[in-house]
Amino acid sequence: MNKIRQEITPFQKEIILYYQTSKVILISSQSLKTIKDSSKQLYVVSKQWFRQWQYYVEYIQGIAPNEKREKPGALNCDLCSKENFLLKYPRDNSFNQQIIKLQSEDFILVNKLMIDVWGTEYGVGMTIPRNVYFNQQGVPSLNVNLLRQSVYINVLNPQRGVLQVDQDCIIKQWIQLLCLAIKNEFQVNVEQIRLWKHKHFQADYAIKQLEKHQGHFNGEILNENLTIGSYNADLIIIDIQIDGKWQYDQLDIKISCSEDFRHIYQKASKGCGKFICDRNYCKSNPIFSQIEFDRKTLQYYLIEQFKQDYLDWTTVCWNQINELKPIQQLQDNDNIVVALTELSIFPNSFGASFILNFNNCYDVINYKNSNPELNLSAIQLVNDVLDAKTLKLWMENLVSNYKQSIYFVRAIIIIMHFKCFNNLLYQEGNRIIEVFLILSKEDKDLLSNYLKILPDEYFIRYTSTIIEIMGNYLKQQSKKHIPLLKKTEIQFVKQMLELLQVFYNSNKTLKLLNLTRFQISEIATLYPKYGNQLEYIQFDSYSIQNLERYYFTFCQYPWVIPLEFKSEILAIDSKMNQKSQFQNSFMFYQPFLQLMIDRNDVVTSALVSLSRKDINLKAQLQIVFQGEQGIDQGGLAREFFSLLTQKLFDINFGMFVPKNNNSILWFNKNNMEMPFKYELIGMILGLALYNQVCLDLQFPEVIFKKLMNEPTCLEDLKELDLEVYKGLNALAQYEQDNIEDVFALNFTITETIRDDIINVELLPNGTEIMVTQQNKHEYIRLCTNYYLNLQIETTFNSFKQGFWRVVEGNGIKLFSGSELQQLIVGQKNLNLKELEDSTEYDGFDYNSEYIKQFWTFLRTLNEEQQKRFLFFCTGSDRIPVGGLKSLKFLIQKHGEDSEQLPSAHTCFNVLLLPQYDSIDKMIMKLQIALQNCEGFGLM
């Protein structure tokens, strides 16, 4: 029989060709990596266009073959820039291409074959060829942007503007292009061109000197054999030779030195006019001005700097703008808005305004001071006369003149104290938000500290507004075929999340809002289909820096992702790890983690199974109970975890002790068991997490915080030992100076260890050091650290080691300690209505009287009995993250009236319920089954 050859669709041809060409680029980069300065001409393709193409040909993002697909527009049409350049190069030179500035995550690289195919199929908005260099690892350099070089030229009249050029272009080649461009543009006979840069002066000063001395200035001619980028010049002066005469020449050295000295002396003696200058040799620089030179000493100092050629001209101040002084006290309310509007173009001066009790000293504001010292009464006076339109203008001015400094951070907190700031958050083009993508971490941390003085009302309102705006924006995006397609859309999301993160970090100290208030539920519904998979793909691409696949992931901000959605990402990550282990298993490991368990000695058999050297803890778990039949599809694993934790956490077993009125279990510091038993418990927690099984644990939250390497604090002690917490907290709150008399404490802790009372010194010679008002916080810190960390250090480290032996991957990094607790232990409250609403039926009508009475009976049970029913049906009485609605529970009809009891397929969460001839009989049989549900087996 002849085989029928399946015809390849045009879509598949494109996909195959793309992967073939990508492979060729990879192979060629690997072969080029041993060659010095190796390069290959490739073409830049916009990531936005590439995603549209993928969506069109590969059915990505959940689209089905029969659904409508939008064809991508012309190639790279979204990269066009509207910048104006001084000259146009001849013959459609590639330097003419006006593309927006790109980051490495904004594009991919392909070869000419792919460009030709795409150009034929979709049209060409712009082709962007680039010579791409490969390093010794075969990784391409990703700087595809042309240099925007500032130039000065005088043909018919002097002009200053910008030209595009490749920074790796040899100056000689650029000169040839400039000759042709000037001839075409101005119709002049250019004989030669040479390029200059000023030796010292910045652009504005260089042009002033050039014009003042009729074409003479203190410059140097650029070496034609070097590249343009090697000079890093803020201004290049184009010198044209016409009729044998050059336009410019070197200024007399005596004149140039005199002007150089005059400039630096003026800055050093008078200042530059800025409120604060960060440049050297300037009196406006607080550090330089503290030296307090007199006139003669300053002259002598600068002359010596000149003689010895010690001056670093790159650090000299060139500012020419006289900055307005900060405003501290308000006298005329009518003119204050006008005054602040003028001041807003000077971020440093604006940010140094409104200082409380100002005494002509700005030293109160520094990076070590978390209090911005705001004059709130003065701010309130401005609040009374300020409108949103004016505040928006102030923000635009501040951002337009942005320069990183402590005063700009202070300007932001001032802006936030004006009540109409909240209204501006709703408006498009709120420019203050743009800054949060470029603020340094240090500045963001400082702003988080500043937020502590923001009125609680404002703090809560701004936080709610940002989350509301983000939620509405993501709803709009979810209606699009490709959400977050454009760079501007991704940037907006990033800006808002960076702003929200500042509030989140501040709230961790303030505790004004529950941390769950920062979660944005719309993230889970951004993608119409397969949202958890698509988010995982982005998270994985971000983690391994696969920029071809990556565009954005919310996992950079895990605290904003709803816990249920985050747990789905973790489940995918676990399955991908298990799949990887399975694929590698034929060479290295067993494909499954199969444990042989003896019901009569669960702990020992688990220890033996988990201590094997060939064990693969990352593989999918399979439990086999000795002497029993059945393939583990999840139910046996849940039973195993239940039996093991009951034994290990039994206080009679001795590994844990009850604390805090028997409400929690804590590590037994006096236990003599082998450390491996604690390691086993850690492995059990890891295996349960890895296999999505909830455990019945009475651990306090601090245990999970410690597992996630989060710092512990006094509040964590409340759940462990309420009495000790109350005592330390009372000490912290006590403000009088007679602590020694009232509390009579020294730096020791009294403990009972095996009936012996001992003193533990918190510091060397702790018995001799009394707790005072000055050192009490150190005492509280040491006590807290001892109870939560040092006291159980050995056993906990074994436990932690066991946990991390099992758990790996990026998914676990998304969770805080409290969230990890919810994942492993499950939710506390059982909501039977959630289970009823989500249950599916096979053989029964959900609306029948029989089923209605079934649920009526369950509702009459107390919570403990309802958990017993849950255990009977699923093998676990824990409520998973997301609640009972996430269980996918099924009630299946199991024959007509009989004496058989209800049973369950716990692996699949299926209740097998016969159709008894009466409701009373059904209830009776259910009661018997629930009373005897321990030790059940698979059917």
Residue 818 near residue 704 (C-beta atoms within 8 A): yes
Question: In the 8-state DSSP scheme, what is residue 889?
Answer: -
Give me the phi and psi of 99, to 5 degrees please.
Answer: -115, 150
Query: Which stretches of 826-933 are DSSP H helices?
Result: 832-838, 849-860, 863-874, 919-931
For helices 112-122 and 10-32, the axis angle rounded to 10 degrees is: 160
Q: Which amino acid is at 354?
A: F
The span from the CA of 394 to the CA of 350, in Å, is 10
Give me the phi and psi of 321, to 5 degrees please.
Answer: -95, 130
Count Cβ atoms below 10 Å from residue 106 Cβ, excluding itself: 20
The span from the CA of 344 to the CA of 400, in Å, is 10
Residue 239 near residue 196 (C-beta atoms within 8 A): yes
Count Cβ atoms below 10 Å from residue 325 Cβ, excluding itself: 12
Residue 331 near residue 323 (C-beta atoms within 8 A): no
Residue 372: CB partners within 8 Å, gap ≥ 6? 365, 410, 413, 450, 453
Bridge partners, residue 904, by sequence: 911
Q: Which of 339, 331, 420, 443 has its CA nearest to residue 378? A: 331
Q: Which of 644, 642, 657, 554 has its CA nearest to residue 603? A: 644
Measured in whole angstroms, the distance separating CA 6 from the mean position of its chain's CA atoms is: 46
The span from the CA of 602 to the CA of 646, in Å, is 10
Q: What angle do CA 684, 686, 687 make, to 5 degrees?
A: 65
The span from the CA of 574 to the CA of 619, in Å, is 9
Residue 407 near residue 351 (C-beta atoms within 8 A): yes
First to last CA, the chain: 46
Q: Which of 158, 154, 191 has its CA nearest to residue 175? A: 191
Residue 240 near residue 275 (C-beta atoms within 8 A): no
Write out the two tokens for 322: 């006289």
SS3 of residue 76 by DSSP: coil
DSSP state letters, 433-486: HHGGGTS-HHHHHHHHHHGGGS-HHHHHHHHHHHHHHHHHHHHHHHTSSSTT-S
The span from the CA of 213 to the CA of 165, in Å, is 30
Stated as kind and residue range, the H or E segment containing 644 is helix 635-648
DSSP state letters, 86-145: S---STT-GGG--B----GGGEEEE-HHHHHHHHHHH-BS---EEEEEB-TTSPBP---P
Q: Alpha carbon of 885 to those of 435, 586, 682, 892: distances in Å?
A: 42, 38, 29, 18
Q: What angle do CA 658, 660, 663 make, to 5 degrees?
A: 65
Count Cβ atoms below 10 Å from residue 213 Cβ, excluding itself: 17
Report, as residue numbers or ranges, the catalytic residues: 907
Residue 59 near residue 14 (C-beta atoms within 8 A): no
Q: Alpha carbon of 718 to those of 699, 714, 728: distances in Å?
A: 13, 7, 10
